[in-house]
Amino acid sequence: MKRERQEGGSASKVAAFFKRNIYFVLMIVCVLAIGAIITVAAVTGSEDDPTDTPTITVPGDDDDDKDDQVPPAVDDDTDEDGDGDDDKDDEDQKPAKTFTLDGILADYTIDIGFSDAELVFNPTQGHWATHQGVDLVAEAGTEVKCSFDGTVKSVTDDSFYGTTVVISHDGGYETTYKLLDEVSLKAGDKVAEGDAIGTVSGDALAEIAQGAHLHLELSKDGVLVDPTSYMSEIADK
């Protein structure tokens, strides 16, 4: 009985101790629990990958190599690479050449001029008629040159007109050279201003009574016009 009373007293003292210090006991238990959780987490992470070190990515700094890249070159309208693109742009910006009929013969005089309405006398055929071109008198054998860049449309040859060359030009212009000799051009040939077309014939029958000369015709959009309107050099004749 005495032993039972002693044990009962001890239990009462323990209960009284916990009752008086309940808050401290709970605090200690919580601290121990948190420590245990942290310890378990650390051990578990180390076992998974002891070499795995977390990295932090800073926005805007994910590609340091970009700082070493050379910025693209600025187009300065030059064509140093030889691809022709810039040259083509320059050509497109250049104003178109003005069509002229200068430089066809080194020296000449005008005989019969252009007339699409008024009748003029034709000394070779002995009658009055319109004259669809202009006659440029020069010595037989004088070189005839192309007046403007173009493409040979046709080359024909007969005893009446001699050799006739028709050249198409940009802008709807077309020149016709009649009473020629020594022509080596053919249809489709490209010709430039100043290129040789042939020579003045001295025996073509069409206008032989006038002597050796070049008969020159000009059309614009299919309509015959006065060639001298495009010849600035006639002011010196």
Residue 223 has a pLDDT of 96
CA–CA distance, 128 with 141 (Å, rounded to integer):
29
CA–CA distance, 139 with 213 (Å, rounded to integer):
7
Distances in whole angstroms, Cα of residue 110 to Cα of each of 64, 153, 161, 237: 80, 26, 19, 8
Q: Could you write out the DSSP letters of every residue in 43-103?
A: HHHHHH-TT-----PPTT-S-GGGGGSPPPPP--S--TT--SHHHHHHHHHSPPPPP--TT
Q: What are phi and psi of 184, to 5 degrees?
A: -115, 0
Per-residue pLDDT of the chain (237 residues; tens, 9 = 90+): 545 555 556 666 666 666 667 777 777 877 787 877 887 666 666 555 555 545 545 455 555 555 555 555 555 555 555 555 555 555 556 667 899 999 999 999 999 999 988 888 888 778 888 899 999 999 999 999 999 999 999 999 988 889 999 999 999 999 999 999 999 999 999 999 999 999 999 888 888 888 999 999 999 999 999 999 999 876 455
Residue 232 has a pLDDT of 84
Residue 7 has a pLDDT of 55
pTM reported for the whole predicted model: 0.59
Token digits of residue 235: 């002011």
**What sign does the CA torsion over 199, 163, 216, 193 have?**
negative
Contact indicator for 214, 163 with CB cutoff of 8 Å: no
Instruction: Indicate the SS3 state at residue 201.
Output: coil
Instruction: Indicate the SS3 state at residue 7.
Output: helix
Residue 33 has a pLDDT of 77
Residue 58 has a pLDDT of 47
Q: CB burial class (10 A; 0-12, 13-18, 19+) of residue 122?
A: middle
Residue 47 has a pLDDT of 57
Domains of the chain, start order? 1-69 (no CATH), 109-236 (2.70.70.10)
Among 97, 133, 98, residue whose Cα is nearest residue 115: 133
Residue 172 has a pLDDT of 96
